[in-house]
Amino acid sequence: MERELALEFVRVTEAAALASGRLIGHGDKNGADQLAVDAMRSVLDSVHIRGTVVIGEGEMDEAPMLYIGEKVGAGDGDEVDIAVDPLEGTNLVAKGMPGAVAVMAVAPKGHLLHAPDMYMEKIVAGPEGVGVIHLDAPIEHNLRELAKASHREVSELTVVLLDRERHEEQIRRIREAGARVKLISDGDVLPAIQACLSHSGVDMLLGSGGAPEGVIAAAAVKSLGGTMQGRLIPEDDAQQERLQQMSVMDTRHILDLDDLVQGDDAFCVATGITGGDFLKGVHYGKGYATTYSVVMRSKTGTVRFIKTQHRMVRMAAK
């Protein structure tokens, strides 16, 4: 893929953030999500790619646009697979809480795992964790080894998890081992990115979250030189059948970074909607709006932070 596409992909997530940001704090998570979807889909058609949505808003009969299998782009240029989450953190936008983003991952055709809509057990860490942590290793072991590799004490590490009842045992063991716990209410893509960045205040992401979000996060982790492992968790017969269709016969099978994102050329792009530790949210001023985005490319390891001022055109009252 051409590096010039990076800015075009940023335009896509900016549009989703600007649209959905209008409903921050309005309590309308579905309305905000629909605005993000509409805006993202519209701008995607101006990008010079031949894209296929492999992770999106659902199957064709579930979503009117950005459905799995939908063709997007201007119809010329590189043939790519696209994973999108136009609004990760719908509840965060509805409640005016930090951490919501518009995010997407792009890779050459066939290079993104077509992750089904189910849970994925995940572990993520930065470059110090490569070859050091393992999904099946005891939590205490992973913390000790990561601390050793990063020349710190376990007490200096921070592990982020979704604040869910299913994680109570992991939270207890992390605390007993002496590490800090940071709980989040929604959205684990940005925390996965933060786990790969020095001085972010996050050293590891752990626990189960959405599998589609796991693939998007993997594109960022690969760009940042980090490490990630995942395991799909089917909850019913239909999900088990989906795994068999993917030739994943053993539910204990661990997916590594190259299983989630093949090759060395993937982009991950995110634009903040509500302000957080990593990305500022959309700011609306008089006649303009400001967005804050990050674009990462695995081929070069480049990470660009982009601040953009947008002139806002108001519709005349009818």
Which positions make up the binding site?
33, 57, 85, 88-90, 119, 164-166, 186-188, 210, 213
How many whole angstroms separate alpha carbon 207 and alpha carbon 214? 11
What is the distance of C-alpha 275 from the center of its chain? Answer: 16
Q: Are 196 and 125 in contact (CB under 8 A)?
A: yes
Can you say which residues are annotated as belonging to the binding site for Mn(2+)?
33, 57, 85, 88, 213
- Going by the DSSP 8-state scheme, the letter that residue 261 receives in this structure is B
How many whole angstroms separate alpha carbon 29 and alpha carbon 192? 23
The Cβ-side half-sphere exposure at 154, using a 13 Å CA radius, reads 14
Q: Are 44 and 53 in contact (CB under 8 A)?
A: no
Q: Are 255 and 231 in contact (CB under 8 A)?
A: yes
As given in the structure block, the two tokens for residue 34 are 């629909």
Can you say which residues are annotated as belonging to the binding site for substrate?
88-90, 119, 164-166, 186-188, 210
As given in the structure block, the two tokens for residue 53 are 């949505």
How many whole angstroms separate alpha carbon 105 and alpha carbon 88? 13
How many whole angstroms separate alpha carbon 255 and alpha carbon 196? 18
